[in-house]
Amino acid sequence: MNREKENLKIIQSTKTERLKKRFDFIDDNILKENVVINMQYITFLYSLERKYKLPGATTYSAFKTIILYTASIVESLLNYKLKELIEKGEIESNKIMTTEEKYIYIADLYSISSEEKICGVKKVKKHKQLDNKTIFLDLNKAAKRCGLFNEQLFKKSEKIRKMRNKIHLAALTEIDNKYSQSDIDNVFEITKDIIDRIENY
């Protein structure tokens, strides 16, 4: 037997068209749509927590989810903007991306035993390529190198990245239940500054 679900009328979610207008500077329609979807969910969770007294750790979970989704928006918009700047020829990928060491050739030189060998390797340093898998930290560093971020904005974006990384429970050294309304408001303020900079740079 299917039960009819009730509408949660009290929660006010931001209208889609208003959100789409806010992110009108994004030419990639798929990215724009995904950003809008995430923003709607963030708005829902925020208004849910503001309106209702949530039980137990649910408030902290809501705050943590808001941080996670907000960070994903910042990360994706940074990636988008840096790619756009490279495609327009305004910045060079090799000048903003960090280098990494790669071992491109390994040769066995001498066998000590069935489990041990002495090998020779060819090690090269190559610039990382900006792509959809570029990590948040590298995006922040690239944004600072090309002038998209100043030192202050870099630190703000790093704050969001570090808060987002607390999603990895195994790496935590204490119980992660200390988020507050002021933390979320601060994340929103930082995100607004970053989005404004990406839009107007």
CA angle 194, 167, 18 (to 5 degrees): 40
pLDDT value of residue 53: 79
- Mean pLDDT, the chain, integer: 86
Q: How many residues does the chain have?
A: 201
pLDDT at 105: 81
Centroid of chain to Cα 172: 19
Bridge-partner residues for 139, per DSSP?
Answer: none
Q: What is the pLDDT of residue 190?
A: 96
User: How do 117-127 and 99-111 pair as beta strands?
Assistant: antiparallel
| pLDDT < 50 stretches in the chain | none
Q: Residue 24 and residue 198: Cα distance in Å, rounded?
A: 12
- Residue 94 main-chain phi, psi, to 5 deg: -65, -20
Cβ atoms of residues 80 and 26 within 8 Å = yes
> So what's the pLDDT on residue 87?
94
Pick the CATH number of 16-97+132-200 from 1.20.120, 1.10.10, 2.40.50, 1.10.3470: 1.20.120
pLDDT at position 8:
55
Exposure on the CB side of residue 143, measured as CA atoms within 13 A? 31
Residues 6 or more apart whose Cβ sits within 8 Å of residue 70: 42, 160, 187, 188, 191
